[in-house]
Amino acid sequence: MDAALTELELDALRELMNTGVGKSARSLSELLGRPVVLSVPFVGALDGPGAGEFFSREFKREASYASAAQDFSGPLAGRGLFVLSNDECSSIASLIGLAPEMTEGVVVDLVEELCNLVLVSCVGFIAGALGGKAQFSSPNFTGRWEAGDFDCASFTTVGSEDAPRLGLRTSFRFKDSEADGHLLLAISGRSGSWLRAGLASYIEGLLCSTT
């Protein structure tokens, strides 16, 4: 799918991700009362072995993470993974008034809730900007893991006959914290033609805007 997207279309998709994540960051910041610092998004082809490298490039060595996955469907279909540094979980939990003792149940609830907040806001914006509407599954906690053990294959398995073809990733951190977070999106191959048409129309709309 990526091969069929022009540089301009990839640029537009990156810009949409940037805007979508900006909206997510605002929601996150308002929920937690902490400023969120965003990184520049990246868009890339998912070509088998390279997918793991693409998605994990910004993970810190030696760091451990907790994550939740959420599927989205409709014309823009795929899977998102919200990844949060383990170090950040307890401080966030206390910020939003969750139990001071970090039981596994609290971590699961927290990461799933943040995944839902960030992913729905970001993917919903991208789908909407391209003239579609995304539906979302419930977020599912996918465990705690070390940076070197990132299981890209299980994340990107959207369906055995529907391998993802395009990946988007962006990173964020909370101000005054070294801990990091990441939003990874694997876009399904079957969204390719819709995505191309939507991006072409989006770009045309930008360039022909008269209002």
Partner 1 sequence: MAHDVLIVDDSMVARMAIKNFLSTTGASISEAPSGEAALDLLAKGLRPAIVYLDLTMPGIGGAETLKRIRAVSPALPVVVITADVQAQTLEELGALGVSGVIRKPADKVSVLAWYGRATAG
Q: Which of 23, 73, 74, 113 binds partner 1 (CB under 8 A)?
A: 23
Please tell me whether residue 32 binds partner 1 under the rule CB under 8 A: no
Q: DSSP letter string over 28-83?
A: HHHHHTS-EEE---EEEE--THHHHHHHHTTSPTT-EEEEEEEEEESSS-EEEEEE
Q: Which of 102, 147, 179, 203 binds partner 1 (CB under 8 A)?
A: 203
CB of 51 to partner 1, least distance (A): 22
CB of 161 to partner 1, least distance (A): 33
Give the whole-angstrom CA distance, residue 9 versus residue 16: 10
Q: Which of residues 142-181 bind partner 1 (CB under 8 A)?
A: 175
CB distance 113 to 175 below 8 Å: no
Among the listed ranges 33-41, 66-74, 107-115, 151-159, the one in contact with partner 1 (CB under 8 A) is 33-41
What HEC string does 169-207 produce?
EEEEEECCCCCEEEEEEEEEHHHHHHHHHHHHHHHHHHH
Shorter beta-carbon distance to partner 1: residue 41 or 167: 41
Q: Which of 2, 18, 74, 136 binds partner 1 (CB under 8 A)?
A: 18
Question: What region, left, alpha or beta, does residue 89 occupy, with left being phi > 0 and alpha being psi -120 to 50 degrees?
Answer: alpha
CB distance 129 to 16 below 8 Å: yes
Q: Which of residues 44-83 bind partner 1 (CB under 8 A)?
A: none
Length of the chain measured in residues: 211
Q: Which of residues 94-133 bind partner 1 (CB under 8 A)?
A: 129
Computed from CA positions of residues 125, 131, 135, 140, in that sequence, does the dihedral angle turn out positive or negative? negative
Q: Which of 43, 50, 94, 206 binds partner 1 (CB under 8 A)?
A: 206
Shorter beta-carbon distance to partner 1: residue 23 or 196: 23
CB of 202 to partner 1, least distance (A): 8
| Closest residue by Cα to residue 39 from 68, 56, 17 | 17
**Residues near partner 1 (CB under 8 A):** 7-8, 11-12, 14-15, 18-23, 25-26, 29-30, 35-36, 38-40, 129, 175, 203, 206-211
